[in-house]
Chain A
């Protein structure tokens, strides 16, 4: 795409059974951006992420990745195009070890993953290295969150959908995760769509921000608006 758009939606609608949630969502994310989607509980942020990933079918509208529509693709095909999903609640494979969880993430990449990539992941998430043989279900929330992130990073995605990474995690780890994601974005040009309600996390990571309410995008905040704490707080309470 000439303007560098990586992912865009037009008129996206989706819901559960007969219940509509997303109503005409239009958004566009450029390559290398970190864009936040904020809004109160239950406005449809996670629904948006699931629809982008292909876990939930869109009832209308379209999603394009690098300009190509991906509406017909099931989630695993989207993943193999380099879309990494880190869900709210983390969804680690509880009865598999840390290392086995990472091995599943290899599937994002259409080729073998060299051992050096594991060393790199373990170097940036020391807690995972320490617990590589431990069952994921026995770890704390913060550790599981790091695993869920590492599990997509092992597949070298071009885009990460990160759904409320700060939820239920102690502040020091939240900060650490935020810094690591920003560093990755700077170093590799990784694009991130971040759903978040934690003000500090939003301000630490996002370069731009969509505000969602009742299944629609109701405002867009640029870097300048984001730098003002009170503005963001007001929109979080919309």
Chain B
């Protein structure tokens, strides 16, 4: 009898987590330990050689983290996953597993500000050059690819521009050049969009956001599809004996989970940005309700977008769920269940009115995060994208009058009420 293909909601609750073998505990145990005893020196050697699966040290692996890794990999429709200490660490671990000094990255310019800085500042210091391109025309990626390019990078929905990527078009361009497409699916979540189904090869997440949904922990994840042909000649690090790990050939030995294993045993092991098992437990709790929360985030966000769109004090609204949004077509293709939980808008009165709006809100929280169950607001030009100059801000889609809102799960009428009263106050001087 063929194995049942379980639905997304079932996998949110069960994937990666059987009852605990030792105790029968049904909830995920928090394995708060750094290390694991070896049965013998031979057992230890097998573990270090990766000849047997098992735990050595929690910088690389931990049973609670492993449950989250398997659950995320399953939800994305991928082969294997790795969790790390933050979304930034996830991008770093994924990309430093692929690129070394002298290699190049081609990335969408419309990125979370911290990501832009990671590529533009930190990676350049390591000799890895990023070419930033306008992602609206996929051909721009093709034009920027050189023989030194080792990966193409973009966000499903750009933060904060709210632009939707034509994933399959960019995937084709990456594959024509023999390199993987890495997608930051933080704003999509696997409930709204599964980039692997559209040709992406590696997905990274800031699980800090909707995956957790509680705004209580920082974390990230790297997931591989298991389908990229690493033996195409461009990735000797996957096919040749590893200098970083006992001469193992990761692709030959681990096949369709070779990339994640290399990321774990070389990059995470030597750079060290691990996730705490307590955080992993909290993210597992969050994932249990991901579908319910995302449905509500999307309906609330669309309702807020419509409300703002009709409001005389609002000059523009960007949300791909609105039919007249330039990304609406792409959103219908890639995000059919909803265009996500974030919108941006401009207030009449520019920067000063934007700041007064944010400071006048009663329960809309003014902070630098998205994807909390609570509604969050921020003025990107003066906060998240402050490190960028005006030109870079514009290229990342940030204008001085822009307010970004991550719409939460409060009573919709209350959210609209708070927006209305804060908009009114934004016009007072």
Partners in one complex: no
